[in-house]
């Protein structure tokens, strides 16, 4: 019997990203037990061959390694901490993999709690968005004890293509936070650039192709530019998520006393977008904030 067949994997949090990652674990022939508070994704995963648990606690009882991908730290605490969370049911020697984006301090609090139960933590936030989650080409930024990382690397490789070991628990979230600092700036800059170009009468699709082959190019420009041009605001990654991530950037910078003169601005833009009812929309929807101030719409 192979190592993959022996290892029983649990997965909690079947949102846009989580469901795609869980699907890839099934495709890699891992025996998978899943849980989510919503019925629809559970039914979809059951059709693919996953076992459906009735609670997070049940996932912990049945699995050797549990992957958690929920939205924020309050949800992490609800899913992980006793009395109803995973730690009260997972066996000593098992492993918790946290792929949610939270702060370095928050993941270290989870690790401290897990140590009391003899459970290892792998701090492994991801980057790449919904499309790359489906393709299995995500970047994983992994913080863990080196032995724990090596023991679970084959599982991580079923979740993404680029696996980077960053050091101990907390380092994965540190890298992800810096990544999100840059992503937020690029998203806001993409919206501003497109609105300015529209005001100047430029064909935005022509512009997008040119910039994609110039020094102004970025992964964010390539991903979000077409969505903004086409006004495609169906959520792959929501404004709410980027508000959460950019808030962590600002709070950490304040605590460290480091300057973030430019990268604090996206947090304010995302908050403004939430106040306009865009919280559940795709990040591309922030362009409507700039349209309002510019007095145009790209569909005009």
Q: Where along the chain do its domains lie?
A: 3-169, 176-294
Rounded to 5°, angle at Cα 82 from 78 and 40: 40
Give catalytic status of residue 297 as yes or no: no
Q: From the candidates 176, 244, 281, 297, give the one annotated as an active-site residue.
A: 176
Give this prediction's pTM: 0.91
Could you count the other beta carbons within 10 Å of the beta carbon of residue 72? Answer: 17
Chain segment 203-249, per-residue pLDDT in tens: 999 999 999 999 999 999 999 999 999 999 988 889 999 999 999 99
Looking at domain 3-169, its CATH architecture is 3-Layer(aba) Sandwich (3.40)
Q: What does 171-200 look like in DSSP terms, one character per residue?
A: HHHHHHHHHHHHHHHHHHHHHHHHHHHHHT
Task: Give yes or no for a contact between 87 and 114, defined as CB atoms under 8 angstroms apart.
Answer: yes
CATH of 176-294, one of 1.10.1040.10, 1.20.1260.10, 3.40.50.300, 3.30.300.30: 1.10.1040.10
Tens-place pLDDT, residues 30-61: 999 999 999 999 999 999 999 999 999 999 99
For residue range 244-265, what is the model confidence (pLDDT) as tens digits? 999 999 999 999 999 999 999 9
Q: Do residues 143 and 123 touch, judged by C-beta distance below 8 A?
A: yes
Distance CA 75, CA 238 (A): 17
């Amino acid at each position: 019997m192979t190592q993959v067949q022996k290892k029983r994997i649990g997965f909690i949090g079947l949102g846009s990203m989580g469901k795609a990652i869980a699907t890839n674990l099934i495709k890699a022939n891992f025996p998978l037990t899943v849980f989510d508070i919503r019925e629809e994704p559970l039914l979809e995963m059951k059709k693919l061959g996953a076992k459906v648990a009735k609670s997070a606690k049940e996932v912990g009882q049945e699995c050797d390694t549990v992957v958690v991908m929920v939205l924020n730290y309050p949800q992490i605490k609800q899913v992980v901490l006793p009395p109803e969370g995973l730690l009260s049911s997972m066996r000593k020697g098992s492993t918790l993999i946290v792929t949610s984006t939270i702060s370095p301090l928050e993941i270290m609090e989870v690790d401290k709690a897990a140590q009391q139960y003899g459970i290892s933590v792998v701090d492994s936030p991801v980057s790449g968005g919904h499309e790359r989650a489906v393709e299995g080409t995500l970047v994983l930024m992994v913080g863990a004890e080196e032995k724990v990382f090596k023991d679970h690397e084959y599982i991580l490789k079923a979740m993404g293509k680029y696996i980077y070991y960053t050091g101990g628990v907390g380092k994965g979230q540190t890298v992800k936070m810096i990544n999100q600092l840059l992503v937020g700036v690029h998203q806001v800059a993409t919206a501003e650039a497109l609105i300015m170009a529209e005001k100047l009468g430029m064909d935005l699709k022509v512009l997008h192709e040119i910039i994609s082959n110039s020094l102004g190019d970025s992964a964010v420009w390539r991903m979000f530019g077409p969505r903004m041009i086409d006004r495609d605001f169906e959520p792959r990654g929501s404004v709410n998520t980027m508000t959460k991530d950019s808030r962590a950037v600002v709070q950490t910078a304040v605590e460290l006393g480091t300057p973030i003169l430019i990268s604090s601005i996206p947090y304010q833009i995302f908050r403004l977008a939430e106040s306009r009812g865009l919280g559940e929309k795709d990040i591309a929807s922030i362009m409507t904030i700039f349209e309002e101030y510019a007095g145009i719409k790209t569909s005009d």
